[in-house]
Structure 1
Amino acid sequence: MELRNLKTFQVVAEHLNLTKAAEQLGYSQPTITLQIQALERELGHPLLNRVGKRTFLTPAGKIVKQHTDQLFYVLQHMAEGLNHLDMPVGPLVVAAPEFYCIQYMPQILKAYVETHPQVNLQVISCTSQETLRKIQAHEADIGIIAGTTSQPGIHSSVVDLEQFTLIASPDLMKDKTLADALVTFPFLSYQEGCNLDEFITQCLVELNYSPPSVIKCSSEETIKRSVLNQTGIALLSKVLVEKELRSGELFELYRFSKKAETSLVCLGRRREEPAIQTFMELVKDIWLSVREE
C-alpha cells in the first residue's frame, strides 16, 4: 500500500473537493482520481461517492479516513523525533585544564550558545589526565587536553600545535647566562601524569638540560606566577606567557623546536552525538582565531 495514495485520499477526504485537493497536492485531477481508484482496488471497498456535484465518504471511506489520520499523525511525530537526533539538545559537560578554560573557553562558549541555545553547557577546570578520567567515567562528555592520548576507546583529534619556551624573571637573570640558569635555578614543572611528561622530557633532551632541582606544580598558572616571583625557571606554552614576554615581566631563555599537541577528546562511541559533534566542529573552526585575539 503506497503512502502517496493514502496521503492523496486523506487530503480529498478532508476537503471532499477534488479541485481543492489537487491545488494542495500539486496534482492534476485525473492523477488524483487514478490514485483513489488504485487505493480502492487494493482495499476492496469504494471510498468516495459522488451525488451531483458533491462528494461524500462511504462507510469504508470514513473508517479509512480515521485510520489514515492516525497513521500520518504517528509518521509526523516519528519524523520530528528523528529530526531531534540531528539537533544538539540537553546537557554537555566540557572538561579542560585551567589555561584553556581561561584563554579559550569564554569565546568558544559564547559562539556555541549563540548557535545552539538549547544545549546546557557546564565547564569543569581540571588537569589533562583528570579530563581523560572524567571522559572515561562519563563525568564529562568532551575534553580539551594538552598533548594527545592513545587510551583505548578515546577518540582524539588535534586542534593546535603549541610552541613552548623556557622562561625566567628578568630580575632572576641579572648578570647570568642561559648556562648559568640551567645549573643554578630550580626547574618548575607539571606534576607527573600531566599528559605532557614525554614532551617535556624531549624538550629537556634537546637542551641537554638536567635540572639541579625540580618543583612540581598542579597548574600552568601556578608555574607562571612562581616564575614571576623569581622562584625558578620553567617550560611553558608561549601563548600562556605571551603577554608577560611582551611587557618584559618574563624573559625567554630558549624556544624549543618541538611543538606540543592540543587535542579534543571524547569517547569514540559518542563522537557522532549531535552536541559533541557540533561542539568539536566549532572548536576546530575558531580555535586559531581565538588564540590570535
Structure 2
Amino acid sequence: MELKHLATFDVVARHLSFTRAAQELGYVQSSVTAHIKALERDLGVRLFERLGRRVVLTEAGLALRTHARTLLHCAEQATEAVRAAGGGAQSVSGTLRIAAPESLCAHRLPPVLRDLKDRFPLLRVIFGPASRSSLLQALTEGTLDAGFLLEEEVGGPMVTSRVLGEEELRLVAHPGHPFAGRSRVRTADLAEETLLLIEKGCAQREVMDRELARAEVRPAAMEFVSTEALKRCAAAGLGLALLPAAAVADEIQRGELVPLAWTCHPVLGVHLVLHKDRQPTAALRALTVLAEERWARPGVVAGA
C-alpha cells in the first residue's frame, strides 16, 4: 500500500468525486483512477462504488477512511522531523488544513497565517470558512488539522480546545440611529427595534437570544448567513447588529457604524480546537504560538 495512493484515496473520500480530487491534487483524472485501482488491488477490496452519477464509499472504504488520515499524518510527521533535522524551519513542508468561522477567517487569521508562511515557506496551507458543526465534524473525522472558533466554551468527545485570545461583541447601528447618542442602551430597549441576526449555531446569536430571553422581549428580526451581508445591512440602517469587534472595527473607524452603549458586555474566547489524539506538528505548534502572540496584544486583530 503506497502512501501516494492512500493520499489520493483520502482526497477522493473527502470529496466523493474523482473530478474534484484530481483538481485539488493537480492530477489528470485518469491518474486518480489509477491510484485508487492500485490501492484496491493491494488491499483486495473495492473502496468506491458508483450509484448512477454518485460516488460512495463501500464498507471497506469506510473502514479505510477511519485510518487513512492517521497513517498520512504519521507519515507527514516523520517527513517533517527528518527534514527539520537536516535543514531547520526552512525545510518544513507538508499540508496544514485549517478552518474557522467567517469573521475569524477575514479579520483574525490572515496576519497569523502570513507569519506562519514566512517561517515555513514550503508549507502548504489549506484555509477556509466553516460553521461550528462542520468544523467539529471535520476534526473528528480527521480531515482537518486544526480549527479556530469564537465561542464561550468548546466541547466534544473527540476534541480539545485552548483559548488563545478574547473577542468583544459590539452592538452596532447606523450613525443616525436614535440610540447612537444614548449613554446607556438596555436589552429591554430593543423591544421595538429590528435586530439583524446571524444564523443559529453561532455564539454571537446564542448570546443575543439569551439576553432577549432574560429581558423577555421579542424584537422584529432579520436573519443572515453572512457576516459581511449583516454588516452592510446594519450600515444601511436596516437594524441593529451584534458582531465581533474585529469584524466592525473598519466600519466604525470610517463612521459607517457606531457602537452602542449596551449594558451587556459579552466577550467570547478565540479557541484553537484540535482532535484530542492528534500530535501537533512543528507547523501546528508554531501556528499556536504565533496566534497567541498576536491575539494577546490588545487591538492587534488585523495585518499590522
Q: Same fold (TM over 0.5)?
A: yes
2:114 to 79, 92, 110: 110
| Residue of 197, 217, 227 corresponding to 1:189 | 197
Separation in 1, partners of 2:255, 2:240: 15
Deviation at 1:183, TM superposition (A): 2.5
Deviations 1:77-123 (A, max 9, x none): xx998545877531111101222222133211221111112321111
Map of 2:241 onto structure 1: 234
Alpha-carbon distance, 1:159 to partner:
1.3
Structure-to-structure mapping, 1:64-83, within 5 angstroms = 83=82
Alpha-carbon separation, structure 2, partners of 1:229 and 1:128: 28
How far residue 291 of structure 1 moved from its aligned partner, in angstroms, is 1.6
Counterpart CA distance in 2 for 1:190 and 1:96 is 16
Shift of 1:228: 0.9
CA displacement, residues 204-247 of structure 1 (integer Å, 9 cap, x when unaligned): 467x3623222221132222111112111111122222232233
TM-score normalized by the length of structure 1: 0.63
For residue 151 of structure 1, give the secondary structure of its aligned residue in structure 2. Answer: coil
Query: Which residue matches 2:301?
Result: 291
Other-structure match for 2:144: 140
Picking from 168, 171, 175, the partner of 1:166 is 171
1:32 aligns to what?
Answer: none
Pairing 1:282–2:290 present: yes
Render the CA deviation track for 1:22-69: whole Å, top value 9, x for unaligned: xxxxxxxxxxxxxxxxxxxxxxxxxxxxxxxxxxxxxxxxxxxxxxxx
What is the distance in 1 between the residues matched to 2:219 and 2:244? 22
- Quick check: 1:263 aligned with 2:268? no
Instruction: Out of 183-192 and 193-202, give the one that drifted further.
Output: 193-202
Structure 1 or 2, whichever has the larger Rg, is 1
**Aligned position for 2:281:** 273
1:2-151 superposed matches below 5 A:
83-84=82-83, 88-147=92-151, 148-151=153-156
Name the counterpart of 2:252: 245
Q: Residue 193 of structure 1 aligns to which amino acid in structure 2?
A: G
Structure 2 Cα separation of the partners of residues 195 and 174 of structure 1: 24
Shift of 1:156: 0.6
Is structure 2 residue 159 aligned with structure 1 residue 154?
yes
CA contact (8 A) 1:134 1:140 kept: yes
Deviation readout 1:143-180 (Å, 9 max, x if unpaired): 11111311111111111121112111123438996579
Instruction: Check whether the contact 1:173–1:181 (CA below 8 A) recurs between aligned residues.
Output: no
C-alpha separation between the residues in 2 aligned to 1:209 and 1:246? 33
In 1, the alpha carbon distance for the partners of 2:203 and 2:114 equals 28
Take 1:85 and 1:184, find their aligned partners in 2: how far apart are those partners?
A: 61
CA distance in 2, matches of 1:213, 1:80: 56
CA contact (8 A) 1:135 1:142 kept: yes
Contact 1:182 1:209 in 2 (8 A): no
Unaligned runs of 5+ residues in structure 1 are 1-78
The runs of 5 or more residues in structure 2 that have no matched partner are: 1-77
- Does the Cα contact within 8 Å between 2:146 and 2:273 map onto a contact in 1? yes
SS at match of 2:178: coil
Identity of aligned residues (%): 23
Q: 1:80 to 1:265 in 2, by over 3 A?
A: closer
Provide the C-alpha distance between the structure 1 equivalents of 2:220 and 2:157, rounded to a whole number of angstroms.
35
Letter in 2 for 1:291: V
User: Does structure 2 retain, via aligned residues, the 8 Å contact 1:172–1:230?
Assistant: yes
CA RMSD of aligned residues (A): 3.0
> 1:266 offset after TM fit, Å?
1.3
Q: 1:158 to 1:204 in 2, by over 3 A?
A: farther
In structure 1, what is the Cα distance between the partners aligned to 2:180 and 2:205?
Answer: 31
TM-score, normalised via structure 2 length: 0.61
Give the whole-Å Cα distance in 2 for the aligned partners of 1:266 and 1:97: 15
**Equivalent residue number for residue 76 of structure 1:** none
